[in-house]
A and B are shown apart, each in its own frame.
Chain A
């Protein structure tokens, strides 16, 4: 069973990675011949005055979308872990956003948020009639909101599974000791979910590096460059400006960044005390 998996990983993981690394030292417009270019691409990209802003926006969206999604998914996951029937019904409804493609979600929100023909002007709601995607800070906020709306269901699902793994004996013991629901949540549920939180956070943080489709359709990086994240920057350089070399540099940076973040998050999980779960 190892060989096919390894073959898949090499063909679809390692080979393209090496290809991108090589391309980052080459000059190619995607059409003609490939010429070696030494480190000139790296120099161009790293000295680009727009790069710090792009990196900043990437991290801003990464951090804020994590900060919004984690508490909401956790609470929702705990709620859905209950065995009541109405919760099972709600769970199905909550997962609807997960079934939609990012492009469809982006087009929908774009239409809803249109300052002239959207939801706000349509229903004559002043507070909804903002230039949502036309002002830098608002646009970042909208991106975070839509990302959260799309991915909270997925992370709730992870938390729901995590909560159901927690032995009920712990809650029974706590109840005997007189702990209320809030106390139980913070003293049992959250510590027991430590690994689930780390897994979910890793997925959120590393996944946010690849937010492309949603932002591309929703704002195309705009207004100006307010929502131009690294993944979008890579696409624009490579496929709109025909500069595959500099685009590959960004791709390599994204890979390195993703690896570092994943490793750091794993470390965070490993250094403290082990799970108190029965048999663990």
Chain B
């Protein structure tokens, strides 16, 4: 095939990018080489629109062993233990083919983690769908949930937490972000940097097929009416093979024969070989005839661009081939020496005794395009003046029931019951709490993880929204008694070529950066997904934050269910009555304008750290952070989980009940304490200048408000639990 500008454009490259390729190579690339450039230079692999801004994120900290740039981030959890974790998007393929798209998203992120030598110990996910009324939503949700379960369950890794939301902005572009945590010994972490000359380059895992060709390019473009045609670009997952690959890799890793290892994810053999060569400042020579293929007559172009799953590339020590092969034979996996490292600093590919590609590595990596895209700064919207008359006719209980049944607040049990969340026998906090918690096997330690996003806040004001998501992650970890350590981020946005979308990206990243810097909660890994857009319509900006924290003694973990009648319930943090962009304003008042709640980083840090002090002093019986739906929604969930009621009284300092109960001010938690501990708790809160309200006392089974209105917890449970089950069974 003759390569020209049009062929390059069909590969998703811009005209000037093609010109640059010709200039770098000092010739016209052949079709295989063009394919390789298009795979490496697309948005998904090159981060060409985001690199400039991602550099500003804080990535270092005392507990950070490895920040961004490797397969996943690594943090220290003491005693020579480390946690490897990352979140990644699989948005585009999941919309085209929900089951396989979601399944391979889960498979891909687990590979990123075990590539580094870690055994995966927990999965999480953040999934976002269009409006429930949209005719595609139900099938997409079902397909994605089955896909996530299908892969994770078979791997035997518990799915311990997640987040699901519905918003019409995802009608044409759903989001599927998968996160995995793995456990590794600090001195047994593996990296992707190749080293040494003439070292054998090994291919292991599944055979290469024609699936997923151009997957990364597809994920770097907006959708139009022809998306159905893109089905062949979606990869097909085989969790069974991945389970074997996991066990085989960990068995090989127990020895000392691996120099570098890299999984074949987006852009398959192309990106894995180039990344290893680039990091090691070496060249790699590959004989493509040696690559195990599933189909006949595959061309070099197809072999290099296939995104077949469950494959790894390894640079081995000389002479260790036989020993390594034995392990892969035992697990019935392909093992092939396909090439070697060279000093050429080039990627040289041979096929049928002919050289089919010859590209200097730096042209693909360092010289890849980087854009300083134009972006528009967002203005902070004006506050709405909510008329008191509008609130007068509202009955708190009715509003509460509606909010508890709102698709974004309701119980997601229908989803997480389909995920095996107890395999491995260490899950001590299941989905449905503030964070999922797993024990570090055989120790007293436990690791907490949560995943959060707040697209509404980010859309209303990206800078504030970016900060808010990080703070929410911080709070969710603290609520279970974990000390927050670090985060991973999955940045889901519309087209970077649109100034407003790009502005949302830049300012969300700035917000994330400011909050993570202040809270000492650095970003250690992540992924950017642009072009979540159909024609001109992009999604609401949706950065998802995955947070990880440590509980030193798992016996001290906190859960959100109310524990005991007569215990006292307090609200930590001040309630100012911020209603704009709250679930209440948007869904009950139908008011969609206004700024999101303000984020005060000092209060976030101070309130959170003080709560951890209370937990350390064994003063907290249950805790839950206040988020969507405000105080009363948070309290109701604690009642439902604990099968207890509460008498609550609104403190006198705010005039309006509705504002107090439904406001979404930040930095707040609900805590349950024993009566006899009240003075101790109050002293600690006062001493640390943390505002608190006395909210009420736990009773047997009813929610009483200001001694006049009441509802049984069973009724609240029904409101909260039935929406999703009913929706999916209709």
A and B: bona fide binding partners? no
Binding site for B on A (CB under 8 A): none
Q: B-side interface residues toward A, CB under 8 Å?
A: none
